[in-house]
Amino acid sequence: MKPENISLKSATAYTLLNSRENASELFHLADRSAVAGWTVDPARKQQTQQDLQQRLDKLKAEQQK
């Protein structure tokens, strides 16, 4: 996501998710190293973006019917 495409909605969502991750780690409900692994891994990030784009395209096609 390019910086000029960041909206208040996405910034708020990011902040909420980050707070939730921190709280989970605090109470030992999640291991932060595991979370960082899949968010930083470029190949996994690219695959996730492609999957989301395919799902979006499919939903758009269904909506046009």
- Residue 54 confidence (pLDDT): 92
Which of 27, 26, 48 lies closest to 39, judged by CA? 48
User: Is the pTM for the entire model greater than 0.75?
Assistant: no
Helix (H) or strand (E) holding 57: helix 42-64
Q: First-to-last CA distance in the chain? A: 29
For residue range 24-63, what is the model confidence (pLDDT) as tens digits? Answer: 777 766 555 655 555 566 787 788 889 889 999 999 998 8
Residue type, 15: T
